[in-house]
Structure 1
Amino acid sequence: MSISASYPPAFQRAINNGDQTEIEPALDQDKDIHIPVIDLERLDKQILTEACKDWGIFRLENHGVPLELTSQLQQISESLLSLPFEEKRELFASVNSPLSYFWGTPALNRSGDALKRGGTQASNVKMLEGFNVPLSKLPVSTCDDGVQHSKLEPFRVLLEEYGRHITRIAVSLFEAIAQTLNLELTGDRRSELLSESTGLIRVYRYPQSSSVEAEGEALGMEVHTDSSVISILKEDETGGLEIMKGEEWLRVKPVADTLIINLGDMMQAISDDEYKSVKHRVKKKDRTRERHSVCYFVFPQRDCVIKSSNYKPFTYSEFEAQVQADIQSLGTKVGLHRFSPKSPLFL
Structure 2
Amino acid sequence: MFNLVASSPSRLCFQSFQVPIHTNKPFQMSSPSPVATVVSAAAPYDRAKAVKEFDETKVGVKGLIDSGIKTIPPFFVHPPETLAELKRGSEPGSAPDIPTVDLSAVQASRAAVVEQIRQAASTVGFFQVVNHGIPEELLRGTLAAAKAFHEQPAEDRAQVYRRHIGKGVSYLSNVDLFQSKAASWRDTIQIRVGPVAADPSEIPEVCRKEVMEWDKEVVRVANVLYGLLSEGLGLGADRLTEMGLVEGRVMVGHYYPFCPQPDLTVGLNSHADPGALTVLLQDHIGGLQVETNQGWVHVKPQPHALVINIGDFLQILSNETYKSAHHRVLANYSNEPRVSVAVFLNPSDRERLFGPLPELTSTDKPALYRNFTFNEFMTRFFKKELDGKSLTNFFRR
TM range (shorter): 0.7 to 0.9
How far apart are the structure 2 equivalents of 1:87 and 1:215? 27
Higher relative contact order by CA 8 Å / sep ≥ 6: 1 or 2?
1
Is the 1:69–1:158 contact (alpha carbons within 8 Å) kept by the matching residues of 2? yes
**What is the CA-CA distance between 1:287 and the residue it aligns to?**
4.0
**What is the CA-CA distance between 1:292 and the residue it aligns to?**
0.5
**What is the CA-CA distance between 1:316 and the residue it aligns to?**
1.3
Residue 41 (structure 1) aligns with? 104
Residue 224 (structure 2) aligns with? 172
In the alignment, structure 1 residue 101 sits paired with structure 2 residue 143: no
How far apart are the structure 2 equivalents of 1:332 and 1:133? 24
Q: Which amino acid aligns with 2:129?
A: L
C-alpha change, 1:291 and 1:16, in structure 2 (3 Å) is: same
In the alignment, structure 1 residue 304 sits paired with structure 2 residue 352: yes
Structure-1-length-normalised TM-score: 0.80
Q: 2:233 aligns with which of 181, 194, 207?
A: 181
Question: Identity of paired residues, percent?
Answer: 23
**What is the CA-CA distance between 1:48 and the residue it aligns to?**
1.2
SS of the equivalent of 1:19 reads coil
SS of the equivalent of 1:142 reads helix
Say which is worse superposed, 4-13 or 313-322, in terms of deviation.
Answer: 4-13
How far apart are the structure 2 equivalents of 1:242 and 1:96? 32
Residue 293 (structure 2) aligns with? 246
How far apart are the structure 1 equivalents of 2:371 and 2:238? 20
Q: Deviations over 1:154-206 (max 9, x none)?
A: 5222111110101111121112111111224767x63325141x111100001
Residue 213 (structure 2) aligns with? 161
How far apart are the structure 2 equivalents of 1:13 and 1:76? 20
Residue 260 (structure 1) aligns with? 307
Q: Which amino acid aligns with 2:212?
A: E
Is the 2:167–2:198 contact (alpha carbons within 8 Å) kept by the matching residues of 1? no
Going by fraction, where is strand more abundant, 1 or 2?
Answer: 1
Residue 11 (structure 1) aligns with? 64
Say which is worse superposed, 84-93 or 267-276, in terms of deviation.
Answer: 84-93
How far apart are the structure 2 equivalents of 1:92 and 1:7? 9
Structure 1: which 5+ runs fail to align?
A: 108-114, 144-148, 342-347
**What is the CA-CA distance between 1:116 and the residue it aligns to?**
3.3
**What is the CA-CA distance between 1:228 and the residue it aligns to?**
1.1
**What is the CA-CA distance between 1:7 and the residue it aligns to?**
4.7
Residue 191 (structure 1) aligns with? 242
Residue 77 (structure 2) aligns with? 22
Q: Deviations over 1:130-152 (max 9, x none)?
A: 21011135462415xxxxx8xx3
In the alignment, structure 1 residue 280 sits paired with structure 2 residue 280: no
How far apart are the structure 1 equivalents of 2:126 and 2:61? 32
Query: Could you list the runs of 4 or more consecutive aligned residues of structure 1 that deviate by over 6 angstroms after TM superposition?
Result: 330-333
Is the 1:244–1:250 contact (alpha carbons within 8 Å) kept by the matching residues of 2? yes
Is the 1:236–1:292 contact (alpha carbons within 8 Å) kept by the matching residues of 2? yes
Residue 50 (structure 1) aligns with? 119
Q: Deviations over 1:236-275 (max 9, x none)?
A: 1100000000261111111110000000001111111111
How far apart are the structure 2 equivalents of 1:133 and 1:12? 24
Is the 1:97–1:141 contact (alpha carbons within 8 Å) kept by the matching residues of 2? no
In the alignment, structure 1 residue 69 sits paired with structure 2 residue 138: yes
How far apart are the structure 2 equivalents of 1:254 and 1:260? 9
In the alignment, structure 1 residue 319 sits paired with structure 2 residue 370: no
Q: Which amino acid aligns with 1:326?
A: K
Is the 2:286–2:338 contact (alpha carbons within 8 Å) kept by the matching residues of 1? yes
Q: 1:129 aligns with which of 172, 187, 198?
A: 187
Is the 2:256–2:332 contact (alpha carbons within 8 Å) kept by the matching residues of 1? no
Q: Which amino acid aligns with 1:205?
A: Y
Is the 2:168–2:198 contact (alpha carbons within 8 Å) kept by the matching residues of 1? no
**What is the CA-CA distance between 1:100 and the residue it aligns to?**
1.3
Is the 2:277–2:308 contact (alpha carbons within 8 Å) kept by the matching residues of 1? yes
**Structure with larger Rg:** 2
Structure 2: which 5+ runs fail to align?
A: 3-28, 31-58, 107-112, 357-366
Residue 266 (structure 2) aligns with? 219
C-alpha change, 1:313 and 1:67, in structure 2 (3 Å) is: same
Is the 2:185–2:331 contact (alpha carbons within 8 Å) kept by the matching residues of 1? no
Is the 1:217–1:285 contact (alpha carbons within 8 Å) kept by the matching residues of 2? no
- State the number of aligned residues: 314
Structure-2-length-normalised TM-score: 0.70
How far apart are the structure 2 equivalents of 1:134 and 1:324? 16
Q: 2:199 aligns with which of 132, 140, 152?
A: 140
